[in-house]
Chain A
């Protein structure tokens, strides 16, 4: 990531006078469409909720209180710890972690395979990896639903070859959500690992092999450390969107048990209509993502030393 500094590369001075302005459009877009909305959410999370959706401009900690404390059905019991939302967050973290591990297990060998093909065929493989992205995520998730339903082709096939007597109950389960997340974000794992592997000098592996290093040692002590930034980037690219996903839980999980994304959506779009609480839940989600990214940044900094 911080490869430019100190690498001894000469920086062209052709565009020196305008260089400082080159990022201006990006900053403008990020500022208007990212920072302003996030700040707005932050403010909303500290406001009073208006009945049936909307906010009243009075400071309130009610949203965070609701997240942390259970005051009973009528709001006048002594406060206990609220497990409902912690459960929803824990469920989302488990799902996102599962999806990340699955993607890594399938994505790493795939990336390795592609990176070791001759340069000409690599392009074809990469092209194949990106094909699913030509189709909208919603369509892909609905198709997955058609595939795995009780009377769907997957179950027909499994029963056809005699593996099961009755349909495998997949639809409306956490397994289906897991499958959906894994499938949706797999290319996000393959591409960064491939990019890292492409720059890997396979002569290292050969040298180690010549010195009688077993395959596992080469993988563990040479290959993985070198492509680690790609692996971490892939993990982040899968974990973060999985954490806030709401299409897969909604369509494949039957919207029966909420993940964070559906909980937030429900506050703005659904029946509950509690904007400050939705904003507070978003802020808590954002903080969790930032913590993950901070660990990443620190790991990166350590590696640079």
Chain B
């Protein structure tokens, strides 16, 4: 390469960077969730620079925003119950009616949701379920019970990964015991504590971002996991089966929220509108293998997804339940139980 061509290319790179600085958008997102091509498409379409930071649990998102990063991000992607908590904590900005031109694309059942009535702060991103998957090479028996996690058969004991996510573990454990979420009954809370203390002796690790990897590598023979993440693990070669247990499972919806004090509020609105386009949100669905909440997205999603075993609750499975937001007293008992698990 000659000096001249070197200089020219450097100049080109510099102008390219200068051109890209037209506008920016700062996204706080779950790990391994949005395809890079979609981000590139948005950047090209609106001439906006997108930066993405990631978190690995709803609680970590909340902690980070409360610790002072509020004001440095424009949008985040909390789960249902966390939208409600964040709105209660005053961390969300309100989207004015009519501000989103694609608001009408939201599927009717996802417009007036309990965690954000009337969608004042959020739009649907993806929804799916959380239960667990089992490696069929290791265990061939019945996996349609939450006992796989909380009272595992000998083949699986000591080979189980559990999501490092208090809300989901508590919800599944409550389903296993047949007690309501956020129970205030002391005997039920003691039973929950006993169950988790005993069950954790059969658990090998806690981790959310590793949930797929440990199943693929064989470090874990069973693991709590989100349905789409499990589908990806299966695609990567793990002989695993995702369970829809008799006792029920966790249903969730992740949502794009407009954060308070967003430095690029207008771009955040553009981004939300962009994600309400059926074709764009379908790209996320195809990548993450969950389901979108937007009319017409099905046209653009891989047809195999709709009938994948991870996206199809089996006949006779228990009901899906959203995670409930507990009051302070119960939440503090939950926190105690959670800490005792790890000491």
Closest CB in chain B relative to A32 CB, distance in Å: 17
Given known contacts A255-B207, A256-B200, A256-B205, A271 and B166 CB-to-CB distance under 8 angstroms: yes
Q: Which positions 55-93 of chain B face chain A at CB distance < 8 Å?
A: 57, 59-60, 62-64, 66-67, 85, 89
A255 — which chain B residues lie within 8 A by C-beta? 164, 205-207, 342
Most buried by B among A254, A262, A268, A274: A254
Q: Is the CB of A73 within 8 A of B193?
A: yes
Q: Is the CB of A256 within 8 A of B206?
A: yes
**Is B41 on the interface with A (CB-CB < 8 A)?**
no
Q: Is the CB of B343 within 8 A of A52?
A: no
**Is B136 on the interface with A (CB-CB < 8 A)?**
no
**Is B340 on the interface with A (CB-CB < 8 A)?**
yes
**Is B52 on the interface with A (CB-CB < 8 A)?**
no
Q: List 5 A-B contacts (CB under 8 A).
A: A87-B343, A88-B343, A256-B203, A272-B335, A273-B335
B218 is contacted by which of A74, A151, A258 (Cβ under 8 Å)? A151
Q: Is the CB of A254 within 8 A of B343?
A: no
B63 is contacted by which of A53, A172, A262 (Cβ under 8 Å)? A53
Q: Is the CB of B340 within 8 A of A269?
A: no
Given known contacts A88-B343, A269-B63, A273-B63, A256 and B204 CB-to-CB distance under 8 angstroms: yes
Q: Is the CB of B204 within 8 A of A254?
A: yes
Closest-by-CB residue of A relative to B205 is: A254
List residues of A whose CB falls within 8 A of some B CB. Answer: 51-54, 73-75, 84-85, 87-88, 149-151, 171-172, 250, 254-258, 262-263, 266, 268-274
Q: Please report the C-alpha to C-alpha distance between residue A133 and residue B161 in the assembled complex, in whole angstroms.
A: 31
6 closest residue pairs by CB, A with B: A254-B205, A271-B166, A84-B343, A53-B66, A255-B206, A271-B59
Closest CB in chain B relative to A94 CB, distance in Å: 14
Question: Would you call the interface of chain B mostly helix, strand, loop, or mixed?
Answer: helix
Closest CB in chain B relative to A150 CB, distance in Å: 6
Q: Is the CB of B59 within 8 A of A270?
A: yes
Q: Please report the C-alpha to C-alpha distance between residue A255 and residue B219 in the assembled complex, in whole angstroms.
A: 14
B166 — which chain A residues lie within 8 A by C-beta? 271
List residues of B whose CB falls within 8 A of some A CB. Answer: 57, 59-60, 62-64, 66-67, 85, 89, 161, 164-167, 186, 189-190, 193, 200, 203-207, 217-219, 328, 331-333, 335-340, 342-343
Given known contacts A53-B62, A271-B57, A273-B63, A172 and B343 CB-to-CB distance under 8 angstroms: no
A254 — which chain B residues lie within 8 A by C-beta? 161, 204-207
Closest-by-CB residue of B relative to A250 is: B207
Given contacts A73-B186, A172-B204, A270-B57, 4 further A-B contacts (CB under 8 A): A52-B331, A151-B217, A266-B339, A272-B335
Given known contacts A256-B203, A269-B64, A273-B63, A73 and B339 CB-to-CB distance under 8 angstroms: no
A273 is contacted by which of B62, B219, B342 (Cβ under 8 Å)? B62
Given known contacts A51-B331, A149-B217, A73 and B337 CB-to-CB distance under 8 angstroms: yes
Q: Please report the C-alpha to C-alpha distance between residue A172 and residue B218 in the assembled complex, in whole angstroms.
A: 13
Q: Please report the C-alpha to C-alpha distance between residue A154 and residue B126 in the assembled complex, in whole angstroms.
A: 40
A268 — which chain B residues lie within 8 A by C-beta? 63, 67
Closest-by-CB residue of B relative to A273 is: B63
Q: Is the CB of A257 within 8 A of B343?
A: yes
Q: Please report the C-alpha to C-alpha distance between residue A172 and residue B336 in the assembled complex, in whole angstroms.
A: 23
Q: Is the CB of B336 within 8 A of A73?
A: yes
Q: Is the CB of B204 within 8 A of A258?
A: no
Q: Is the CB of B165 within 8 A of A271?
A: yes
Q: Please report the C-alpha to C-alpha distance between residue A270 and residue B328 in the assembled complex, in whole angstroms.
A: 17
Q: Is the CB of B219 within 8 A of A270?
A: no
Q: Is the CB of B218 within 8 A of A150?
A: yes
Closest-by-CB residue of B relative to A146 is: B217
A272 is contacted by which of B85, B200, B338 (Cβ under 8 Å)? B338
Closest CB in chain A relative to B273 CB, distance in Å: 31
